[in-house]
Every structure is written in C-alpha cells, then in structure tokens.
Amino acid sequence: MKWRRFFSINWLLVYAVAYMIFLYAPVILLPLFAFNDGTIIAFPLSGYTTKWFVSLWETEALHGAVSNSLLVAVTTALISTSLGACAARAAARYRFPGKQAIVGFIMLPLVLPEIIVAVALLIMLVQLGLPLSLWTVVAGHVLICTPFSIAILSSAFAGLDQSLEEASFDLGETRWGTFSRVTLPLVLPGVISSLLICFTISLDEFIIAFFLTGTDVTLPVYIWSQLRFPTKLPSVMALGTILLALSVLLLVAAEWFRRRAAARQGQEISTPGGLV
C-alpha cells in the first residue's frame, strides 16, 4: 500500500510540474526578452528597458496591422457567434433528419488542417475573380471559429431548462419576447464567452490570413514578416508580450462568463470548459 502511494501520487505530481514547465518554457521567455536591453535574443540578459515597447508605439505599419486585425476579429466573433448560436440551439433543442451528418459537416474545420481550408478558399476566390481583402480573411475565420462557438454554446443551450420557455409561452409572451426575456439572459454568459474565444482565435490565426489577405495585412502576418529581420526581433517580443497579456485577460473574462452561465443554470461549476 505504501509502495503504491509513493508510486502513483508523488511521481505523477512531479511529472505534472515538469510538464507545466515544458508548456510554459517558451511563454516565460517572451516578457523576459521584451524587457531585455539587448538587440540579440539570447542569454545572458543585459538589463531592463522599455524601449522596445516605445518603438512599437512609433511603428506606423504595426498600427495598420492592429486595426486590421481588430476589425477582422470583431467581425468574425460577431458572425461566428450568431451562426454558432443558431446551430447550437438547433442541435440542443430539435430533432431533425440528417442532424448528425449536418452537425458533423459543420464541425469539420475543427479537424481539417488550416492549410487545406486556406488553399480551398483561395482557389475558389481566384476562380470567381474576387479580390483578396480583409473580408476574405473574415470569411475564412468564420469557418474555423463557428465550430468553437457551437461547442461553447451547445453546453449553454443543453443546460437550458425547456420548461422555463414553455412557462413564458403559457404566460402569454410572444416568441421574440420569450427569446429576449427568458432564453437570451440565460445563455448570455455563454454568448459572451463564445465572442471572446472567437475573437482570440481570429486575432492569432496566421495560416488562413497568410493565404487570403490582400494588401492589408493582419497582425500575425505582420509578425511573420518581421521575424526575418533580426533587428526587429526585440520589438516583436514586446508585441508578443502585449498580446499574451491581452489573451490571458480575455480568457479569464471568458472563463468567468462561462462559469456564471453554468451557475445560473445550476450546473456544477467544475465541469470542464465548453471547448471540450
């Protein structure tokens, strides 16, 4: 008994900690080099500076990329979440022929390599003679974000007690009234969580943006172009640090809203996230 406890508990914890170090190794380096007063990305560190952050402020091309990315990410989040809400509601509430096949097909981009999605969309756009722009990037991003949105919102809609809606109908509310006063408030935290996740995915997505972007580049495409110039690397690290902080903030917010959704519907809070 003693031997077994020694084997299973301690070593698994040691392994888990080692694994977390492996997971966080590259992430920890990011702020380290961002505040490092040296032009080479290598140890030893040579002192504290914030000049790389200041240089970001002065780079015009970056500002363009940031506003492009924000536009793409916000639009993608709104469209994907609207589409995701329809699909999640349909999947959770109704039975219809071909349901499994339809949902499976919509979720396909989750397992399809992004390069395949990107290349396929590129071929179609070129064949149709449509110019590449930020909107073509949005079209691609909506395709890959919608499955995530459906996954998050499915749990929100599945936990929805149908009798509440029925009660609302019985008390004389219209369809729209029931939706806006009963259904929406109950799933709203899930909706916000989905918006934030889609926003984060789109903001970081590179492959589809790389193929489908026109002359206006998004942030990851801009970063890709900067990685070739060794002198630009420290400011890229600074940019990465800001993005990291932003992502963590958004994720904490998304998680908070998801838990609130679960709590409102009286589910157990510790159940794993909607992404699973």
Partner 1 sequence: MARRLDKDAKQGLVLISPVLVYALILLAAPLLLVLTFSFWTQNYLDIDRTLTLANYREALGTPIYQTLMLRSITISLVVTVVTVVLAFPIAYFLSFHVKKRKALWLFLITVPFWTSYLLRVFLWKVILGYNGVLNTALMELGIIDEPLTFILYNANAVVLTLAHAWAPFAILPIFVALEKIDRSLLEAAEDLGDGPFRRFWRVTLPLAMPGVVAATLIVLIPTVGDFITPKLVGGTEGLMIANMIQVQFGKANNAPLGAALAVSSMVIVATISVMIYVAGRYFGGRVKR
Residues of span 8-67 touching partner 1 by CB under 8 A: 8-9, 12-13, 15-16, 19-20, 22-27, 29-30, 33, 41-44
Examine residue 204 and tell whether it contacts partner 1 (CB under 8 A). Answer: yes
Examine residue 94 and tell whether it contacts partner 1 (CB under 8 A). Answer: yes
Q: Which is nearer to partner 1, 53 or 206 (CB)?
A: 206
With CB under 8 A as the contact rule, the residue among 117, 152, 187, 212 that binds partner 1 is: 117
Examine residue 186 and tell whether it contacts partner 1 (CB under 8 A). Answer: no
Examine residue 78 and tell whether it contacts partner 1 (CB under 8 A). Answer: no
In whole angstroms, how far apart are CA 203 and each of 16, 52, 192, 207, 255? 30, 22, 16, 12, 18
Q: CA-to-CA distance for 234 and 241, rounded, in angstroms?
A: 11
Examine residue 269 and tell whether it contacts partner 1 (CB under 8 A). Answer: yes
- The residue count for binding partner 1 (CB under 8 A) is 88
Query: With 0-12 CB in 10 A as exposed, 13-18 as middle and 19+ as buried, what is 142?
Result: buried
Residue type, 3: W
Examine residue 192 and tell whether it contacts partner 1 (CB under 8 A). Answer: no
CA 15 to chain centre: 28
With CB under 8 A as the contact rule, the residue among 100, 111, 176, 231 that binds partner 1 is: 111
List the interface residues with partner 1, window 208-247 (CB under 8 A). 211, 220, 223-224, 227, 236-237, 240, 243-244, 247
Alpha helix ranges (H) inside the chain: 2-5, 11-34, 51-57, 60-93, 99-107, 114-128, 134-158, 162-170, 175-178, 184-204, 207-212, 219-226, 233-264
Examine residue 195 and tell whether it contacts partner 1 (CB under 8 A). Answer: no
Task: List phi, psi (to 5°) of 260.
Answer: -65, -40
Examine residue 139 and tell whether it contacts partner 1 (CB under 8 A). Answer: yes
Q: Which is nearer to partner 1, 53 or 224 (CB)?
A: 224
Examine residue 188 and tell whether it contacts partner 1 (CB under 8 A). Answer: no
With CB under 8 A as the contact rule, the residue among 36, 75, 146, 213 that binds partner 1 is: 146
Q: CA-to-CA distance for 81 and 16, rounded, in angstroms?
A: 35
